[in-house]
Amino acid sequence: MHLLIPAAGSGRRMGSQRNKLLLTLLGKPLLSWTLAAAEASQQISWIGIMGQPEDFPDFEAILKDLSPKKPIELIQGGTTRQESVYNGLQALPIGADRVLIHDGARCLATPELFDRSADALLGCPGLIVAIPVKDTIKVVDEARIVRDTPERSHLWAAQTPQGFEVKLLKQCHEAGRLKGWEVTDDAALFEKCGLPVRIVKGEETNLKVTTPVDLALAEFILRQRS
């Protein structure tokens, strides 16, 4: 199974000048925790990381420290996550028929979650890892007036990994570029093209490190694990 890791973002919402994936968690860069889990997965055999060229020296240092047994390639990212994934799809080795995509910022995903997703992807064209939401979710307009309260039992919070047949996902990305769709995950492109996306049960601890609070929570969880 091939894995693409979008890692070409910035640290804006983290209030950091640098790519947040280079911030440290228990003394190691965030990205190295993500990569360690992917390296430990039994199903993943090839990893591509999409990054900004100015971060490549730091990514190479992380790889040197990890000394992975799997082939890992650095791929130039884009100005949006969607564009970074598009670039990653073009860089997949010939013959790659299924791919998992996992945000570098989800550094607490376990090797078992990758393996479970890879196994499930053998039986469907597209899937996302997700968990049922615990909060009641409100739809709010520009004036911050609540417009709707969707039935909670139908709401799931999407995580990554997300997995797809490569040929189909490439078609969906091409359709998105043509029609100007801007989305925040790959499943949304699949959905817009009318293709089915299956749910695989995610992990509550699989948080996306976005703000300084997430960084503190992630450190707490990693400490509990060790």
In this structure, are residues 206 and 130 in contact, taking their beta carbons and an 8 Å threshold? no
Which residues touch 107 (CB under 8 Å, ≥6 apart)? 21, 25, 30, 31, 33, 34, 37, 209, 218
Which one, 12 or 167, has the nearer CB to ligand C5P? 12
- Among residues 16, 80, 110, 171, which is the contact residue for ligand C5P, using CB under 6 A? 80
* Rounded least distance, CB 134 to ligand C5P, Å: 21
Q: Which of 55, 103, 186, 214 binds ligand C5P (CB under 6 A)?
A: 103
Compute the distance between CA of residue 180 and CA of residue 48 in angstroms, rounded to an integer.
Answer: 26
Question: Within positions 2 to 21, which residues make up the interface with ligand C5P, using CB under 6 A?
Answer: 6-9, 21
Q: What residues contact 186, with CB distance under 8 A and at least 6 apart?
A: 85, 101, 162, 164, 169, 172, 173
Strands (DSSP E) contained in 52-150 are 72-76, 98-101, 126-132, 139-140, 146-148
Residue 82: CB atoms within 10 A of its CB come to 20
Collapsing DSSP to helix, strand or coil, 48 comes out as strand
Residue 84 makes contact with ligand C5P by CB under 6 A = yes
The count of chain residues that interact with ligand C5P, using the rule CB under 6 A, is: 17
Q: Which is nearer to ligand C5P, 81 or 116 (CB)?
A: 81
CB distance 39 to 46 below 8 Å = no
Of 29, 104, 163, 176, the one binding ligand C5P (CB under 6 A) is: 104
Could you give the string, one character per residue 119-138, with x where binding to ligand C5P holds by CB under 6 A and - elsewhere? --------------------
Closer to ligand C5P by CB, 28 or 124: give it: 28
Whichever of 83 and 219 has its CB closer to ligand C5P, that residue is: 83
Cβ(165)–Cβ(2) below 8 Å: no
Residues in 34-63 at the binding interface with ligand C5P, rule: CB under 6 A: 50
Interacting residues toward ligand C5P by CB under 6 A? 6-9, 21, 50, 77-81, 84, 103-105, 208, 210
